[in-house]
Structure 1
Amino acid sequence: MRRGARIVKLRQPGLDWGMTSPLDVLVVGAGPAGLMAAETMAAAGLRVAVADRMPSPARKFLLAGRGGLNLTHSRPLPGFCDAYGAARAPLAPIIDAFPPAALIAWCEGLGQPVFTGSSGRVFPTAMKASPLLRAWLARLGGLGVTLLARHAWRGGDRFATPGGEVSLPSRAKVLALGGASWPRLGSDGGWVSLLPGVAVVPLAPSNCGFAIEWSEHLRGRFAGTPLKRIALSFNGRTERGEAMLTATGIEGGAVYALSGPLRDAIAAGGPVTAMLDLRPDIARDALAARLAERRGQSLSNHLRRAAGLPPVAIGLVQEALRGGADPGDLAGLVKALPLRLLAAAPIARAISSAGGIAWSEVDEHLMLRAHPGMFVAGEMLDWEAPTGGFLLQACFATGRAAGLGAVDWLRRA
């Protein structure tokens, strides 16, 4: 970071914080949305600083990079925005203005080439976030952006720092404080109480696991074991992928893809049942034919040899049989094994958040109607998306849109 954006640390209240001219815009939050807003505004000639409560920027972005940093998805427009469900209408014009191709070009412009995987997901060739972040901070530094570490927003112009509370006035603000997932990395949802009079849809876990009451036997033997090439169905939707049994339930890509409807159904009426297909690549009738003759084998051997099930899947079938499932329809059980989901995982353990500032509270430039000159970006807004690149794409795109909105507003002010 020595060659990147300049980090200024305040040591006491009222200390000059390094600005030689009045600040045009203060960005609050140094994640992808906030940094993209800062770059957009600084490139337009504005004097910009970014304040963040953590000691260093983009901590959640760096964590995402440990899994390869899935920047975006190659799904073409306009179908790309179908991934955002109820938020499709407000997000579509924002993403149309900064689509996946633009995000890819931006990444490559920072010297980080990308590739598209077989699933359509787009990753930096480096398969991590740190090289991209270093290059990005260097660009921001070249644009004159200042980063203010350990500055926790307290509403208005007030910030808590290790040396006490300070006031950081600016002509405009961009808030990019995230949702409430992974709070130890910076986004704890505390901003909700700092925006009185602004309607906020309650924050909820998204892309999360779910609690299941496993038997002691299943938990002790298979917690931490992956389920590969499965499909999960709920309420008419089926998602293929992988999952993992945990000591308290189940998580993983196929589960995350259905986490929104599962979460909402549980909130509305209590525990729900999802159906797990342990062999989605074979039709039920064909599987039934394979399982028709057991020939004196143990159930485990029969399921392993005839159905090709791994030990963890066999354990799930046996668990269902102990719970009262029909032993005369093994094929049906393998193709539709019921999972009783009790509750969504806590938001602190979710990959992302649902809920946020209602779209009715912002104009087309993402400015808060109740607070002229204050713009909002990223997961603070009321949207959610599946993993696969859709999360970061919307964060980058809304950050750019808020930055452009602030540029336009200041020019007209």
Structure 2
Amino acid sequence: MKLKLSTVTIKLKLPIAALLLGAGLTACTPQPDSNIVEDNMEFAQQQLRCAFDEIDYAVANESPESRAQREKNGWGPLTNPRNTEPDGTLHLVPSKDWTSGFFPGELWFLYEYTQNNFWKKKAQQHTDILEQEKMNGGTHDMGFKMYCSFGNGYRLTQDERYKEILLQSARTLSTRFKPKAGIIRSWDHNKDKWQCPVIIDNMMNLELLFWATKESKDSTYYNIAVSHARTTMKNHFRADYSCYHVIDYDTITGQVLKKNTHQGLAHESAWARGQAWALYGYTMCYRETKLPEFLEQAKKVEQYLFTHKNMPEDLIPYWDFDAPGIPNEPRDASAATVIASALYELSQYDRKNSERYKKNADRIVENLTNSYRTTLNKDNGFLLLHSTGTKPTNVEVDVPIVYADYYFIEALLRKDKLEKTGKLF
């Protein structure tokens, strides 16, 4: 999670029901014998059509104060949804925000599932407005922004323009690599607190670099990604395989200066989404490298998660595994969706425990479907309730957040592929 760049405060508008009815889609409440993937994908199509309406309304009704602040900071136009605020208003972000790529990624997923050109055109529209970010060297979030959007687009269309944008994005991300420390710098903010901070979230951005080596045949990207993953594995994790959120490095000596947890309860606590990023990140690194050390790390993180005394029965984690008020603490559905998606993939690589991984992923998907979904044609078009961004500063607490939806759809697609073909890739 990163700093919020822009907040748009707009009163909710009723969705245009005619558009939804015209699509010929019908509401589908989950039933015990229903196809959970089909049901959720139908629900997602209706909700994202609702989202288009809400986005248009939000852009048209941005307050003059918000627009002036955004332009003063050089953030560019508003692009895609980030979350619903506690008062029910929709929060849109400019392309610079780390979450800007998730919404177009969802649209690409719907195109992949339906093969309906309506979703392809919408995905292209919401992807193209992010192109300028390919040169933004002030952030490590190229994977989140560019690979979730342009990456999915290229995978599904083989559009050469997308390929070039992604390669430039990888080149830009590589400029943040610090050879002495062996890591990619994460944040540039809070320079009074950290010299060179690296967050566990950064594991997710390595997929773009692995892709760039495969496409360009330049091993530089691969080597940077492996170095970052190994250094993170060495310094981010405790003896029980829980992880810190932020490690601060001396870029001259490579020495670790601080071990912090910025968005969790305390420095020594286990922030739920951080553990989810770790599980997903090392599972992905094993896919891309086939290095056994990464698979072992993913397995150990999974074991930590699913043997923890504070993992709820429904497997939707509290925002921090050490939160003092459990069971009366906010959940983080976004952590659950990342974990579920990772488990479907991990089940392909660790055959001994494959059945358990898939069973737990299925339980997460089922519980999210039955107890965490939004109301049809409401909630600004988001899919899931009860995500938590940064509880210590009371930002995005118990609200819909876009990356929960993105990884939920990805998990559903992975479940579908596994059950139909027995493989993901």
Question: TM-score normalised to the size of structure 1?
Answer: 0.28
Q: Which has the higher contact order (CA 8 A, sep 6+)?
A: 1
Q: Which has the higher helix share?
A: 2
Q: Which has the higher strand share?
A: 1
Question: TM-score normalised to the size of structure 2?
Answer: 0.27
